[in-house]
């Protein structure tokens, strides 16, 4: 009998629960992979943190996941990608690292009137990485385009702290969608992995004619492509297994993992 190959072990992390949107896409794209997820809940959200703080947290969590046997890393956080992915890749050149950035390019392909909204954290929108992306894509756009950048202060925090359908979350979504609706945006980029968790509220505010752009599936495809070159994981790695870790109270992570992904898994406290 031919033994079943051991699956690869993929580490994933976000500032909090938002990366579950990426974890879900990864599980659909690579159901046999062993996934290790860390939510840095104790320090969420990253959107109002300094680049230095975000970089330090990113390196510590990456080291924790690598020590747990992760053969590659997915930074399921736009803010952490913007602040730290280049330094992390330079410091760990033998370890594949996949980042995530706002889906401005697909939004340009979807807009009909050239009015593109970008919902993201302030740290993401102010980062050099995002500004370079915006400039590069604007120069290559077919026809005039206007980018409406909406710093969604408080939205990721509301998603972390309140039920997804709570009045607090709905009010925060309404506040940040209003300027984009008034600007006539017909394509809106969800530039934080928390935001797909409340996409139904964003759609209700923006209207069914507006295209919402989420890059989780694109990240999953890129991860799967890189994973093909990895050797099997450590002995004992179970196909399709998921480990959940939180640096804060793990109950919120457990709750949303069950709601968003149908996973009934006890989350552990990550000592980082």
Q: Which residues are part of the catalytic machinery?
A: 77, 192
Nearest to 111 by CA among 56, 166, 188: 188
Extended strands (E) in the chain: 9-14, 34-39, 72-75, 97-98, 115-120, 146-151, 187-190, 211-213, 242-246, 268-269
Let me know: does 118 contact 191? Beta carbons within 8 Å. yes
- Tokens 């009137």 locate to 113
Q: Is 194 within any annotated ligand binding site?
A: yes
Let me know: does 185 contact 115? Beta carbons within 8 Å. yes
Q: Is 215 within any annotated ligand binding site?
A: no
Q: Is 78 within any annotated ligand binding site?
A: yes
How far apart are the C-alpha atoms of 176 and 202, rounded to whole Å?
Answer: 9
Q: What DSSP string runs through 209-259?
A: TSEEE--HHHHHHHHHHHHTTSPP--TTPPTT-EEEEESS-THHHHHHHHH
How far apart are the C-alpha atoms of 131 and 109, rounded to whole Å?
Answer: 19
Let me know: does 107 contact 149? Beta carbons within 8 Å. no
- Buried b / exposed e along 248-261 (16+ C-beta atoms within 10 A): bebebbbebbeebb
Q: Is 14 within any annotated ligand binding site?
A: yes
Let me know: does 8 contact 233? Beta carbons within 8 Å. yes
- Tokens 């703080």 locate to 53
Q: Which residues are annotated as a binding site for substrate?
A: 14-15, 46-47, 78-79, 193-194
Q: Which residues are annotated as a binding site?
A: 14-15, 46-47, 78-79, 193-194
């Amino acid at each position: 009998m031919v033994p079943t190959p051991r699956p690869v072990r993929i580490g994933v992390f976000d500032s909090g629960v938002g990366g579950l949107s990426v974890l879900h896409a990864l599980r659909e794209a690579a159901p046999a992979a062993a996934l290790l997820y860390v939510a840095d809940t104790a320090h969420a959200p990253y959107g109002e943190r300094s680049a230095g703080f975000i970089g330090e947290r990113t390196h510590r969590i990456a080291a924790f996941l690598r020590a747990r046997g992760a053969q590659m890393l997915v930074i399921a956080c736009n803010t952490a990608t913007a602040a730290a992915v280049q330094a992390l890749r330079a410091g760990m050149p033998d370890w594949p690292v996949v980042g995530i950035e706002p889906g401005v390019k697909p939004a340009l392909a979807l807009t009909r009137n050239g009015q593109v909204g970008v919902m993201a954290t302030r740290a993401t929108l102010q980062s050099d990485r995002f500004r370079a992306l915006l400039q590069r894509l604007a120069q290559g756009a077919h026809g005039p385009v206007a980018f409406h950048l909406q710093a969604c202060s408080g939205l990721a925090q509301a998603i972390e702290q309140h039920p997804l359908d709570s009045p607090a979350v709905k009010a925060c979504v309404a506040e940040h969608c209003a300027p984009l609706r008034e600007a006539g945006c017909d394509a809106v980029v969800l530039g934080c992995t928390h935001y797909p968790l409340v996409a139904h509220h964003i759609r209700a505010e923006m209207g069914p004619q507006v295209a919402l752009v989420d890059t989780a599936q694109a990240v999953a495809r890129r991860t799967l492509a890189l994973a093909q070159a990895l050797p099997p994981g450590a002995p004992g790695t179970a196909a399709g297994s998921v480990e959940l870790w939180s640096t804060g109270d793990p109950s919120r992570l457990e709750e949303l993992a069950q709601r968003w992904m149908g996973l009934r898994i006890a989350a552990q406290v990550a000592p980082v």
